[in-house]
Structure 1
Protein backbone atom coordinates (compact mmCIF):
# COMPACT_ATOMS: atom_id res chain seq x y z
CA UNK A 1 0.00 0.00 0.00
CA UNK A 2 2.85 2.36 0.80
CA UNK A 3 5.64 3.08 -1.63
CA UNK A 4 8.36 2.75 1.02
CA UNK A 5 11.26 2.09 -1.30
CA UNK A 6 10.35 4.95 -3.62
CA UNK A 7 9.88 7.36 -0.76
CA UNK A 8 13.15 6.32 0.83
CA UNK A 9 14.99 6.84 -2.44
CA UNK A 10 13.37 10.21 -2.97
CA UNK A 11 14.25 11.44 0.50
CA UNK A 12 17.82 10.35 -0.01
CA UNK A 13 18.02 13.03 -2.69
CA UNK A 14 17.35 15.80 -0.22
CA UNK A 15 20.90 16.28 0.99
CA UNK A 16 21.48 19.13 -1.43
CA UNK A 17 18.06 20.73 -1.20
CA UNK A 18 19.37 23.99 0.26
CA UNK A 19 22.35 24.41 -2.06
CA UNK A 20 22.55 28.12 -2.74
CA UNK A 21 23.70 28.14 -6.34
CA UNK A 22 21.96 25.00 -7.58
CA UNK A 23 19.85 25.68 -10.68
CA UNK A 24 16.10 25.09 -10.21
CA UNK A 25 16.19 21.87 -12.24
CA UNK A 26 18.61 20.39 -9.71
CA UNK A 27 16.67 21.12 -6.54
CA UNK A 28 15.45 18.19 -4.49
CA UNK A 29 11.85 19.24 -5.06
CA UNK A 30 12.28 19.19 -8.83
CA UNK A 31 13.83 15.73 -8.64
CA UNK A 32 10.98 14.21 -6.63
CA UNK A 33 7.98 16.35 -7.66
CA UNK A 34 6.54 13.80 -10.07
CA UNK A 35 6.63 11.09 -7.39
CA UNK A 36 5.00 13.02 -4.57
CA UNK A 37 1.38 12.15 -5.54
CA UNK A 38 2.24 8.47 -5.08
CA UNK A 39 3.82 8.79 -1.65
CA UNK A 40 2.04 6.95 1.13
CA UNK A 41 -1.75 7.03 1.30
CA UNK A 42 -4.27 9.88 1.48
CA UNK A 43 -7.37 9.04 3.50
CA UNK A 44 -10.70 10.81 3.85
CA UNK A 45 -10.97 10.69 7.65
CA UNK A 46 -14.76 10.68 7.79
CA UNK A 47 -15.34 7.88 5.29
CA UNK A 48 -12.09 6.00 5.87
CA UNK A 49 -11.67 5.72 2.11
CA UNK A 50 -8.37 6.27 0.37
CA UNK A 51 -8.31 8.95 -2.32
CA UNK A 52 -5.66 9.98 -4.80
CA UNK A 53 -3.69 13.22 -4.73
CA UNK A 54 -5.69 14.76 -7.57
CA UNK A 55 -8.94 14.19 -5.72
CA UNK A 56 -7.44 15.79 -2.61
CA UNK A 57 -6.43 18.90 -4.54
CA UNK A 58 -9.86 19.14 -6.14
CA UNK A 59 -11.57 19.16 -2.73
CA UNK A 60 -9.11 21.52 -1.07
CA UNK A 61 -9.31 23.93 -4.00
CA UNK A 62 -13.00 24.50 -3.24
CA UNK A 63 -12.38 25.41 0.41
CA UNK A 64 -12.01 29.07 1.46
CA UNK A 65 -9.71 28.00 4.31
CA UNK A 66 -7.23 25.12 4.24
CA UNK A 67 -5.02 24.16 7.17
CA UNK A 68 -2.14 21.74 6.74
CA UNK A 69 -0.61 20.23 9.88
CA UNK A 70 3.03 19.21 9.66
CA UNK A 71 5.79 17.70 11.75
CA UNK A 72 8.41 20.44 11.73
CA UNK A 73 11.50 18.27 11.34
CA UNK A 74 10.11 15.98 8.62
CA UNK A 75 11.53 17.15 5.30
CA UNK A 76 9.02 15.06 3.35
CA UNK A 77 6.23 17.19 4.83
CA UNK A 78 7.80 20.36 3.47
CA UNK A 79 8.07 18.84 0.00
CA UNK A 80 4.42 17.84 0.14
CA UNK A 81 3.53 21.37 1.26
CA UNK A 82 5.37 22.83 -1.71
CA UNK A 83 3.52 20.41 -3.98
CA UNK A 84 0.18 21.34 -2.38
CA UNK A 85 0.80 25.07 -2.73
CA UNK A 86 1.71 24.63 -6.39
CA UNK A 87 -1.23 22.35 -7.12
CA UNK A 88 -3.76 24.61 -5.42
CA UNK A 89 -2.41 27.66 -7.25
CA UNK A 90 -2.99 25.83 -10.53
CA UNK A 91 -6.64 25.27 -9.58
CA UNK A 92 -7.48 28.65 -8.07
CA UNK A 93 -6.09 32.11 -7.54
CA UNK A 94 -4.61 31.82 -4.07
CA UNK A 95 -5.53 34.63 -1.68
CA UNK A 96 -2.79 34.21 0.93
CA UNK A 97 -0.46 31.69 2.55
CA UNK A 98 -0.07 31.91 6.34
CA UNK A 99 2.90 30.34 8.12
CA UNK A 100 3.45 29.50 11.77
CA UNK A 101 7.18 29.73 11.01
CA UNK A 102 6.97 33.51 10.54
CA UNK A 103 6.66 35.89 13.52
CA UNK A 104 4.60 39.06 13.28
CA UNK A 105 7.68 41.31 13.31
CA UNK A 106 8.94 39.58 10.16
CA UNK A 107 5.90 40.66 8.14
CA UNK A 108 7.45 43.85 6.82
CA UNK A 109 10.71 42.30 5.52
CA UNK A 110 8.79 39.35 4.10
CA UNK A 111 6.45 41.71 2.27
CA UNK A 112 9.36 43.78 0.99
CA UNK A 113 11.14 40.70 -0.37
CA UNK A 114 7.97 39.43 -2.02
CA UNK A 115 7.48 42.79 -3.72
CA UNK A 116 11.10 42.75 -4.89
CA UNK A 117 10.73 39.27 -6.34
CA UNK A 118 7.34 40.14 -7.83
CA UNK A 119 9.00 42.94 -9.78
CA UNK A 120 11.11 40.35 -11.59
CA UNK A 121 14.22 40.50 -9.42
CA UNK A 122 16.05 37.43 -8.16
CA UNK A 123 17.69 36.51 -4.89
CA UNK A 124 19.84 33.56 -3.90
CA UNK A 125 18.58 31.19 -1.25
CA UNK A 126 21.24 32.17 1.29
CA UNK A 127 20.50 35.86 0.76
CA UNK A 128 16.75 35.24 1.09
CA UNK A 129 17.35 33.70 4.49
CA UNK A 130 19.05 36.86 5.70
CA UNK A 131 16.86 39.60 4.28
CA UNK A 132 13.60 38.03 5.39
CA UNK A 133 15.14 37.74 8.89
CA UNK A 134 14.55 34.01 9.12
CA UNK A 135 14.13 32.74 12.69
CA UNK A 136 16.84 30.13 13.29
CA UNK A 137 14.54 28.13 15.59
CA UNK A 138 13.27 26.68 12.33
CA UNK A 139 15.79 24.70 10.27
CA UNK A 140 16.50 26.62 7.06
CA UNK A 141 17.80 23.40 5.50
CA UNK A 142 14.28 22.04 6.02
CA UNK A 143 12.28 25.14 5.09
CA UNK A 144 14.47 27.08 2.65
CA UNK A 145 13.20 25.59 -0.65
CA UNK A 146 9.57 25.84 0.49
CA UNK A 147 10.04 29.46 1.49
CA UNK A 148 11.74 30.30 -1.79
CA UNK A 149 8.81 28.84 -3.73
CA UNK A 150 6.19 30.64 -1.63
CA UNK A 151 8.00 33.97 -1.75
CA UNK A 152 8.18 33.83 -5.56
CA UNK A 153 4.47 33.07 -5.89
CA UNK A 154 1.94 35.93 -6.31
CA UNK A 155 -0.10 35.13 -3.18
CA UNK A 156 1.01 37.18 -0.15
CA UNK A 157 2.92 35.26 2.52
CA UNK A 158 1.65 36.20 5.99
CA UNK A 159 3.18 35.76 9.43
CA UNK A 160 1.00 33.57 11.63
CA UNK A 161 2.98 33.56 14.85
CA UNK A 162 3.51 35.89 17.78
CA UNK A 163 6.76 37.83 17.85
CA UNK A 164 9.34 37.19 20.55
CA UNK A 165 8.25 40.38 22.29
CA UNK A 166 4.61 39.33 22.16
CA UNK A 167 5.39 35.86 23.51
CA UNK A 168 7.26 37.36 26.44
CA UNK A 169 4.35 39.70 27.17
CA UNK A 170 1.80 36.88 26.96
CA UNK A 171 3.91 34.81 29.35
CA UNK A 172 4.26 37.74 31.77
CA UNK A 173 0.52 38.35 31.71
CA UNK A 174 -0.47 34.70 32.08
CA UNK A 175 -3.20 34.25 34.70
CA UNK A 176 -2.64 32.01 37.71
CA UNK A 177 -5.01 29.55 36.06
CA UNK A 178 -4.09 29.73 32.36
CA UNK A 179 -6.59 26.96 31.62
CA UNK A 180 -9.29 29.63 31.92
CA UNK A 181 -8.05 31.14 28.64
CA UNK A 182 -9.26 28.20 26.58
CA UNK A 183 -12.82 27.87 25.27
CA UNK A 184 -13.20 24.46 26.89
CA UNK A 185 -11.60 22.85 29.93
CA UNK A 186 -10.89 19.70 27.91
CA UNK A 187 -8.78 21.67 25.43
CA UNK A 188 -6.73 23.19 28.21
CA UNK A 189 -6.19 19.78 29.79
CA UNK A 190 -4.89 18.25 26.56
CA UNK A 191 -2.50 21.17 26.11
CA UNK A 192 -1.39 20.92 29.75
CA UNK A 193 -0.65 17.21 29.47
CA UNK A 194 1.41 17.71 26.34
CA UNK A 195 3.48 20.49 27.87
CA UNK A 196 4.14 18.43 31.01
CA UNK A 197 5.08 15.40 28.91
CA UNK A 198 7.33 17.51 26.68
CA UNK A 199 9.20 18.64 29.78
CA UNK A 200 9.34 15.14 31.28
CA UNK A 201 7.29 16.36 34.23
CA UNK A 202 10.04 18.84 35.14
CA UNK A 203 8.07 22.08 34.98
CA UNK A 204 6.72 24.31 37.73
CA UNK A 205 3.24 25.84 37.75
CA UNK A 206 4.21 29.44 36.78
CA UNK A 207 6.14 28.23 33.76
CA UNK A 208 3.38 25.79 32.84
CA UNK A 209 0.84 28.64 32.93
CA UNK A 210 3.14 30.80 30.82
CA UNK A 211 3.49 28.09 28.17
CA UNK A 212 -0.25 27.43 28.17
CA UNK A 213 -0.86 31.13 27.61
CA UNK A 214 1.64 31.24 24.76
CA UNK A 215 0.11 28.19 23.09
CA UNK A 216 -3.33 29.74 23.39
CA UNK A 217 -1.97 33.02 22.02
CA UNK A 218 -0.41 31.31 19.02
CA UNK A 219 -3.63 29.54 18.11
CA UNK A 220 -5.61 32.78 18.41
CA UNK A 221 -3.09 34.68 16.32
CA UNK A 222 -3.17 32.13 13.51
CA UNK A 223 -6.96 32.28 13.49
CA UNK A 224 -6.93 36.08 13.46
CA UNK A 225 -4.48 36.23 10.56
CA UNK A 226 -6.49 33.68 8.61
CA UNK A 227 -9.76 35.51 9.21
CA UNK A 228 -8.22 38.78 8.02
CA UNK A 229 -6.50 37.23 4.98
CA UNK A 230 -8.14 37.25 1.55
CA UNK A 231 -9.74 33.95 0.60
CA UNK A 232 -8.88 31.35 -0.42
CA UNK A 233 -6.24 31.06 2.26
CA UNK A 234 -3.78 28.33 3.17
CA UNK A 235 -2.04 27.73 6.52
CA UNK A 236 1.05 25.63 7.19
CA UNK A 237 1.58 24.96 10.90
CA UNK A 238 2.40 22.26 13.41
CA UNK A 239 -0.20 19.53 13.67
CA UNK A 240 -1.46 20.58 17.12
CA UNK A 241 -2.31 24.05 15.84
CA UNK A 242 -4.46 22.67 13.02
CA UNK A 243 -6.60 20.13 14.88
CA UNK A 244 -10.24 21.18 14.89
CA UNK A 245 -10.93 20.00 18.43
CA UNK A 246 -8.21 22.08 20.10
CA UNK A 247 -6.10 24.24 17.79
CA UNK A 248 -6.51 27.43 15.76
CA UNK A 249 -9.84 26.28 14.24
CA UNK A 250 -11.42 26.87 17.66
CA UNK A 251 -10.77 30.60 17.29
CA UNK A 252 -11.80 31.18 13.68
CA UNK A 253 -14.67 33.61 13.14
CA UNK A 254 -16.91 30.81 11.87
CA UNK A 255 -15.54 28.16 14.22
CA UNK A 256 -14.09 24.70 13.78
CA UNK A 257 -17.29 23.33 12.26
CA UNK A 258 -17.29 25.78 9.37
CA UNK A 259 -17.93 23.71 6.21
CA UNK A 260 -15.57 26.08 4.40
CA UNK A 261 -12.65 24.86 6.53
CA UNK A 262 -10.67 21.80 5.46
CA UNK A 263 -7.86 20.35 7.58
CA UNK A 264 -5.19 18.05 6.18
CA UNK A 265 -2.83 16.35 8.62
CA UNK A 266 0.51 15.06 7.38
CA UNK A 267 1.32 12.01 9.48
CA UNK A 268 2.70 8.52 9.60
CA UNK A 269 1.12 5.11 9.30
CA UNK A 270 -0.85 4.42 12.48
CA UNK A 271 -1.19 8.10 13.43
CA UNK A 272 -4.51 8.94 11.82
CA UNK A 273 -6.40 11.81 13.52
CA UNK A 274 -9.94 11.47 14.85
CA UNK A 275 -12.93 12.49 12.74
CA UNK A 276 -13.46 15.59 14.87
CA UNK A 277 -9.89 16.75 14.26
CA UNK A 278 -9.29 16.64 10.50
CA UNK A 279 -10.86 16.04 7.11
CA UNK A 280 -7.93 14.27 5.48
CA UNK A 281 -4.70 12.60 6.55
CA UNK A 282 -1.72 11.96 4.29
CA UNK A 283 -0.06 8.89 5.80
CA UNK A 284 3.62 8.35 5.07
CA UNK A 285 5.55 5.22 6.03
CA UNK A 286 7.74 5.59 9.10
CA UNK A 287 10.51 3.52 7.49
CA UNK A 288 11.91 2.94 4.04
CA UNK A 289 12.14 -0.46 2.40
CA UNK A 290 15.32 -1.25 4.33
CA UNK A 291 13.78 -0.42 7.69
CA UNK A 292 15.52 2.93 8.05
CA UNK A 293 13.48 5.63 9.81
CA UNK A 294 12.33 8.38 7.45
CA UNK A 295 11.72 10.91 10.22
CA UNK A 296 13.70 11.74 13.38
CA UNK A 297 12.79 9.73 16.44
CA UNK A 298 10.64 11.46 19.02
CA UNK A 299 12.63 13.04 21.83
CA UNK A 300 12.91 10.96 24.98
CA UNK A 301 12.56 12.17 28.53
CA UNK A 302 16.18 11.52 29.55
CA UNK A 303 16.59 15.28 30.07
CA UNK A 304 14.07 18.10 30.45
CA UNK A 305 13.10 19.63 27.12
CA UNK A 306 12.62 23.31 26.35
CA UNK A 307 11.44 23.70 22.73
CA UNK A 308 8.22 25.52 21.90
CA UNK A 309 5.11 23.37 21.78
CA UNK A 310 3.72 22.84 18.29
Structure 2
Protein backbone atom coordinates (compact mmCIF):
# COMPACT_ATOMS: atom_id res chain seq x y z
CA UNK A 1 0.00 0.00 0.00
CA UNK A 2 1.38 3.36 -0.96
CA UNK A 3 2.28 5.58 2.04
CA UNK A 4 0.23 8.56 0.88
CA UNK A 5 -3.00 6.58 1.26
CA UNK A 6 -2.34 4.57 4.42
CA UNK A 7 -3.29 7.26 6.90
CA UNK A 8 -6.73 7.62 5.34
CA UNK A 9 -7.31 3.89 5.32
CA UNK A 10 -6.51 4.07 9.01
CA UNK A 11 -9.24 6.67 9.53
CA UNK A 12 -11.77 4.43 7.83
CA UNK A 13 -10.80 1.53 10.06
CA UNK A 14 -11.03 3.66 13.19
CA UNK A 15 -14.47 5.02 12.32
CA UNK A 16 -15.89 1.79 10.93
CA UNK A 17 -16.99 0.69 14.40
CA UNK A 18 -20.31 2.21 15.38
CA UNK A 19 -23.69 1.34 16.82
CA UNK A 20 -26.81 3.44 17.35
CA UNK A 21 -29.37 4.75 19.83
CA UNK A 22 -30.74 2.00 22.00
CA UNK A 23 -32.64 2.29 25.29
CA UNK A 24 -29.98 2.94 27.94
CA UNK A 25 -29.40 5.28 30.84
CA UNK A 26 -26.56 7.00 28.97
CA UNK A 27 -27.04 10.48 27.52
CA UNK A 28 -28.27 10.29 23.91
CA UNK A 29 -24.95 11.49 22.51
CA UNK A 30 -23.16 8.62 24.27
CA UNK A 31 -25.53 5.86 23.19
CA UNK A 32 -24.32 3.25 20.75
CA UNK A 33 -25.82 3.23 17.27
CA UNK A 34 -28.04 0.42 16.00
CA UNK A 35 -28.25 -0.30 12.25
CA UNK A 36 -30.00 2.48 10.37
CA UNK A 37 -29.54 6.01 9.06
CA UNK A 38 -29.11 8.88 11.51
CA UNK A 39 -28.75 12.63 11.54
CA UNK A 40 -25.89 13.09 13.98
CA UNK A 41 -26.94 16.54 15.20
CA UNK A 42 -30.27 15.30 16.58
CA UNK A 43 -29.99 11.50 16.64
CA UNK A 44 -33.09 11.32 14.43
CA UNK A 45 -33.42 8.07 12.50
CA UNK A 46 -34.24 8.50 8.81
CA UNK A 47 -35.44 6.39 5.93
CA UNK A 48 -33.26 6.19 2.83
CA UNK A 49 -35.70 8.42 0.97
CA UNK A 50 -35.61 11.02 3.73
CA UNK A 51 -31.83 10.98 3.71
CA UNK A 52 -31.68 11.44 -0.05
CA UNK A 53 -34.18 14.31 0.12
CA UNK A 54 -31.97 16.09 2.64
CA UNK A 55 -28.75 15.44 0.75
CA UNK A 56 -30.28 16.83 -2.45
CA UNK A 57 -30.78 20.20 -0.76
CA UNK A 58 -27.01 20.78 -0.79
CA UNK A 59 -24.62 21.73 -3.58
CA UNK A 60 -21.82 19.48 -2.33
CA UNK A 61 -22.45 16.00 -0.91
CA UNK A 62 -19.40 14.16 0.45
CA UNK A 63 -19.70 10.42 1.12
CA UNK A 64 -16.78 8.73 2.85
CA UNK A 65 -15.52 5.21 2.41
CA UNK A 66 -13.14 2.54 3.51
CA UNK A 67 -11.54 1.88 0.14
CA UNK A 68 -11.79 -1.92 0.25
CA UNK A 69 -15.34 -2.07 1.66
CA UNK A 70 -17.80 -3.00 -1.10
CA UNK A 71 -20.82 -1.96 0.97
CA UNK A 72 -19.50 1.59 1.31
CA UNK A 73 -19.33 1.79 -2.48
CA UNK A 74 -22.85 0.39 -2.76
CA UNK A 75 -24.08 3.24 -0.55
CA UNK A 76 -22.21 5.78 -2.68
CA UNK A 77 -23.88 4.41 -5.83
CA UNK A 78 -27.31 4.54 -4.19
CA UNK A 79 -26.69 8.15 -3.21
CA UNK A 80 -25.61 9.02 -6.75
CA UNK A 81 -28.77 7.47 -8.21
CA UNK A 82 -30.92 9.17 -5.59
CA UNK A 83 -29.42 12.58 -6.27
CA UNK A 84 -29.90 12.14 -10.02
CA UNK A 85 -33.60 11.54 -9.38
CA UNK A 86 -33.90 14.71 -7.33
CA UNK A 87 -31.81 17.36 -9.11
CA UNK A 88 -31.56 18.32 -12.77
CA UNK A 89 -27.79 17.92 -13.11
CA UNK A 90 -25.40 15.97 -10.88
CA UNK A 91 -21.62 15.61 -11.14
CA UNK A 92 -19.40 12.93 -9.62
CA UNK A 93 -16.10 13.98 -8.04
CA UNK A 94 -13.68 11.14 -7.27
CA UNK A 95 -10.58 11.06 -5.08
CA UNK A 96 -9.45 8.00 -7.05
CA UNK A 97 -8.51 9.96 -10.18
CA UNK A 98 -5.78 12.60 -10.35
CA UNK A 99 -6.16 15.96 -12.04
CA UNK A 100 -3.84 15.35 -15.04
CA UNK A 101 -6.17 12.55 -16.17
CA UNK A 102 -9.38 14.52 -16.60
CA UNK A 103 -9.28 14.06 -20.38
CA UNK A 104 -9.85 10.29 -20.34
CA UNK A 105 -12.78 10.72 -17.94
CA UNK A 106 -14.40 13.26 -20.26
CA UNK A 107 -13.85 10.93 -23.22
CA UNK A 108 -15.36 8.01 -21.29
CA UNK A 109 -18.51 9.93 -20.33
CA UNK A 110 -18.84 11.11 -23.94
CA UNK A 111 -18.70 7.51 -25.18
CA UNK A 112 -15.46 8.06 -27.08
CA UNK A 113 -13.55 5.37 -25.17
CA UNK A 114 -14.64 2.31 -23.20
CA UNK A 115 -14.00 1.44 -19.57
CA UNK A 116 -10.85 -0.54 -20.27
CA UNK A 117 -9.34 2.38 -22.19
CA UNK A 118 -10.40 4.84 -19.50
CA UNK A 119 -8.75 2.78 -16.76
CA UNK A 120 -5.58 2.38 -18.79
CA UNK A 121 -5.36 6.06 -19.68
CA UNK A 122 -6.01 7.21 -16.11
CA UNK A 123 -3.39 4.70 -14.87
CA UNK A 124 -5.88 3.24 -12.39
CA UNK A 125 -3.85 0.14 -11.55
CA UNK A 126 -0.69 2.10 -10.83
CA UNK A 127 -2.19 5.13 -9.12
CA UNK A 128 -5.12 3.65 -7.20
CA UNK A 129 -5.19 -0.10 -7.49
CA UNK A 130 -8.33 -1.01 -5.55
CA UNK A 131 -10.85 -3.28 -7.28
CA UNK A 132 -12.66 -1.68 -10.18
CA UNK A 133 -15.74 -3.82 -9.51
CA UNK A 134 -16.51 -1.77 -6.40
CA UNK A 135 -16.33 1.58 -8.22
CA UNK A 136 -17.82 0.48 -11.55
CA UNK A 137 -21.47 1.22 -10.64
CA UNK A 138 -20.51 4.86 -10.03
CA UNK A 139 -18.86 5.57 -13.36
CA UNK A 140 -21.30 3.39 -15.33
CA UNK A 141 -24.24 5.37 -13.98
CA UNK A 142 -22.46 8.66 -14.59
CA UNK A 143 -21.84 7.66 -18.19
CA UNK A 144 -25.47 6.56 -18.65
CA UNK A 145 -26.62 9.95 -17.35
CA UNK A 146 -23.92 11.91 -19.23
CA UNK A 147 -22.95 13.23 -15.79
CA UNK A 148 -19.43 14.66 -15.51
CA UNK A 149 -16.83 12.63 -13.61
CA UNK A 150 -14.21 14.89 -12.07
CA UNK A 151 -10.62 13.88 -11.28
CA UNK A 152 -10.22 15.63 -7.94
CA UNK A 153 -6.87 14.55 -6.60
CA UNK A 154 -3.38 16.02 -6.78
CA UNK A 155 -0.84 14.15 -8.91
CA UNK A 156 0.85 11.41 -6.92
CA UNK A 157 4.25 12.69 -7.98
CA UNK A 158 3.54 16.06 -6.39
CA UNK A 159 2.29 14.76 -3.04
CA UNK A 160 5.19 12.33 -2.79
CA UNK A 161 7.73 15.05 -3.50
CA UNK A 162 6.19 17.29 -0.84
CA UNK A 163 6.40 14.43 1.66
CA UNK A 164 10.08 14.03 0.78
CA UNK A 165 11.35 17.62 0.48
CA UNK A 166 8.52 19.89 1.66
CA UNK A 167 6.99 22.84 -0.15
CA UNK A 168 10.31 24.64 -0.22
CA UNK A 169 11.76 21.84 -2.34
CA UNK A 170 9.29 22.33 -5.20
CA UNK A 171 10.17 24.09 -8.42
CA UNK A 172 8.12 26.97 -9.80
CA UNK A 173 5.90 24.79 -11.98
CA UNK A 174 5.13 22.47 -9.08
CA UNK A 175 4.39 25.39 -6.77
CA UNK A 176 1.84 26.68 -9.28
CA UNK A 177 -0.18 23.49 -8.76
CA UNK A 178 -0.55 24.06 -5.01
CA UNK A 179 -3.85 25.70 -3.98
CA UNK A 180 -4.28 27.82 -0.87
CA UNK A 181 -3.43 25.68 2.16
CA UNK A 182 -4.74 25.71 5.72
CA UNK A 183 -2.11 23.89 7.78
CA UNK A 184 -3.35 25.13 11.15
CA UNK A 185 -6.21 22.74 11.96
CA UNK A 186 -5.02 21.43 15.32
CA UNK A 187 -7.62 18.65 15.47
CA UNK A 188 -6.35 17.33 12.15
CA UNK A 189 -2.73 17.52 13.27
CA UNK A 190 -3.52 15.66 16.48
CA UNK A 191 -5.46 13.03 14.56
CA UNK A 192 -2.63 12.35 12.11
CA UNK A 193 -0.01 12.33 14.87
CA UNK A 194 -2.09 9.96 16.97
CA UNK A 195 -2.51 7.64 13.99
CA UNK A 196 1.25 7.36 13.68
CA UNK A 197 1.70 6.74 17.40
CA UNK A 198 -0.97 4.03 17.47
CA UNK A 199 0.84 2.21 14.68
CA UNK A 200 4.31 2.67 16.17
CA UNK A 201 5.37 4.83 13.21
CA UNK A 202 8.02 7.19 14.53
CA UNK A 203 9.20 10.27 12.65
CA UNK A 204 10.94 13.51 13.45
CA UNK A 205 8.97 16.74 13.72
CA UNK A 206 10.48 17.88 10.43
CA UNK A 207 9.51 14.73 8.61
CA UNK A 208 6.04 14.80 10.15
CA UNK A 209 5.58 18.37 8.92
CA UNK A 210 6.43 17.38 5.36
CA UNK A 211 4.16 14.35 5.47
CA UNK A 212 1.33 16.32 7.05
CA UNK A 213 1.64 19.04 4.41
CA UNK A 214 1.36 16.41 1.67
CA UNK A 215 -1.87 15.12 3.20
CA UNK A 216 -3.31 18.63 3.40
CA UNK A 217 -2.39 19.23 -0.24
CA UNK A 218 -4.59 16.22 -1.11
CA UNK A 219 -7.61 17.65 0.71
CA UNK A 220 -7.07 21.21 -0.47
CA UNK A 221 -6.58 20.12 -4.08
CA UNK A 222 -9.77 18.07 -4.04
CA UNK A 223 -11.73 20.90 -2.45
CA UNK A 224 -10.33 23.47 -4.85
CA UNK A 225 -10.97 21.27 -7.90
CA UNK A 226 -14.57 20.69 -6.83
CA UNK A 227 -15.26 24.38 -6.24
CA UNK A 228 -13.65 25.43 -9.52
CA UNK A 229 -15.69 22.87 -11.46
CA UNK A 230 -19.02 23.86 -9.93
CA UNK A 231 -18.21 27.55 -10.35
CA UNK A 232 -17.60 27.01 -14.06
CA UNK A 233 -20.64 24.78 -14.59
CA UNK A 234 -23.76 26.70 -13.66
CA UNK A 235 -25.87 23.78 -14.95
CA UNK A 236 -24.61 21.44 -12.22
CA UNK A 237 -26.93 21.49 -9.21
CA UNK A 238 -25.07 19.02 -6.96
CA UNK A 239 -21.67 17.38 -6.90
CA UNK A 240 -21.30 14.04 -5.15
CA UNK A 241 -17.74 13.64 -3.86
CA UNK A 242 -16.54 10.14 -2.96
CA UNK A 243 -13.37 9.90 -0.89
CA UNK A 244 -11.72 8.07 1.99
CA UNK A 245 -13.21 8.57 5.44
CA UNK A 246 -10.62 11.08 6.66
CA UNK A 247 -10.96 13.15 3.48
CA UNK A 248 -14.73 13.22 4.08
CA UNK A 249 -14.35 14.30 7.72
CA UNK A 250 -16.69 17.13 8.65
CA UNK A 251 -14.12 18.84 10.85
CA UNK A 252 -10.90 18.73 8.86
CA UNK A 253 -11.28 16.99 5.50
CA UNK A 254 -12.65 18.26 2.20
CA UNK A 255 -15.89 19.80 3.59
CA UNK A 256 -14.46 22.74 5.59
CA UNK A 257 -11.95 23.39 2.82
CA UNK A 258 -14.80 23.72 0.31
CA UNK A 259 -16.71 25.99 2.68
CA UNK A 260 -13.65 28.22 3.06
CA UNK A 261 -13.73 28.81 -0.69
CA UNK A 262 -17.44 29.32 -1.33
CA UNK A 263 -20.75 30.25 0.26
CA UNK A 264 -22.27 26.92 -0.78
CA UNK A 265 -22.97 24.46 2.00
CA UNK A 266 -21.56 20.96 2.23
CA UNK A 267 -23.20 17.88 3.73
CA UNK A 268 -21.41 14.68 4.71
CA UNK A 269 -22.43 11.03 5.01
CA UNK A 270 -20.29 8.26 6.50
CA UNK A 271 -21.22 4.60 5.93
CA UNK A 272 -20.30 2.40 8.92
CA UNK A 273 -20.00 -1.35 8.39
CA UNK A 274 -19.20 -2.81 11.80
CA UNK A 275 -21.16 -1.12 14.62
CA UNK A 276 -19.22 -1.95 17.76
CA UNK A 277 -17.94 1.03 19.67
CA UNK A 278 -18.48 4.50 18.16
CA UNK A 279 -21.11 6.76 19.67
CA UNK A 280 -23.35 9.39 18.11
CA UNK A 281 -21.14 12.04 19.70
CA UNK A 282 -17.99 10.60 18.11
CA UNK A 283 -19.55 10.15 14.69
CA UNK A 284 -21.19 13.57 14.84
CA UNK A 285 -17.75 15.17 14.76
CA UNK A 286 -17.00 13.32 11.53
CA UNK A 287 -20.25 13.47 9.55
CA UNK A 288 -23.69 15.06 9.35
CA UNK A 289 -25.30 11.69 8.65
CA UNK A 290 -24.22 8.11 9.32
CA UNK A 291 -25.54 4.97 7.67
CA UNK A 292 -25.00 1.89 9.85
CA UNK A 293 -25.07 -1.45 8.05
CA UNK A 294 -27.66 -4.04 9.02
> C-alpha distance in 2, partners of 1:265/1:241?
11
Match of 2:271 in 1: 266
Matched, 1:228 2:233: no
Query: Which residue does 1:129 correspond to in 2?
Result: 119
Query: Displacement of 1:232 after TM fit?
Result: 1.6
For residues 174 and 108 of structure 1, the distance between their equivalents in structure 2, rounded to whole angstroms, comes to 27
Matched, 1:147 2:152: no
Partner of 2:189: 188
Tell me, in whole angstroms, the C-alpha distance in 1 between the residues paired with 2:196 and 2:96: 20
Answer 1 or 2: higher relative contact order, Cα 8 Å, separation at least 6. 2
Structure 1: where are the runs of 5+ without partners? Answer: 1-38, 286-310
Show the counterpart of 2:78.
Answer: 83
Describe how 1:1-310 pairs up with structure 2 within 5 A. 40-116=35-111, 123=114, 125-134=115-124, 135-171=127-163, 172-174=165-167, 182-198=183-199, 200-230=200-230, 231-254=237-260, 260-268=265-273, 269=275, 270-271=277-278, 272=280, 273-285=282-294
Q: Is the 8 A contact 1:66 1:262 kept in 2?
A: yes
Contact 1:175 1:209 in 2 (8 A): no
Give the 3-state SS of the residue equivalent to 2:246 in structure 1.
helix
Shift of 1:112: 1.9
The aligned residue for residue 6 of structure 2 is none
Please give the secondary structure, in 1, of the residue aligned with 2:272: strand
RMSD: 2.8
Relative to 1, partners in 2 of residues 1:153 and 1:210: Cα closer, same or farther, differing over 3 Å?
A: farther
Match of 1:9 in 2: none
**Aligned partners of 2:248 and 2:254 also within 8 Å:** yes
1:54-88 deviation line (CA, Å, top 9, x unaligned): 00011111111111111111001111111110111
The alignment covers a number of residue pairs equal to 237
- The SS at the match of 1:240 is coil
- After TM superposition, the runs of 4+ consecutive aligned structure 1 residues lying more than 6 A away are none
CA distance 1:228–1:133, change in 2 (3 Å) = same
Distance (Å, rounded) in 1 between the aligned partners of 2:264 and 2:120? 39
Gap regions ≥5 residues in structure 2: 1-33, 170-180, 231-236
> CA shift at 1:149, angstroms?
2.7
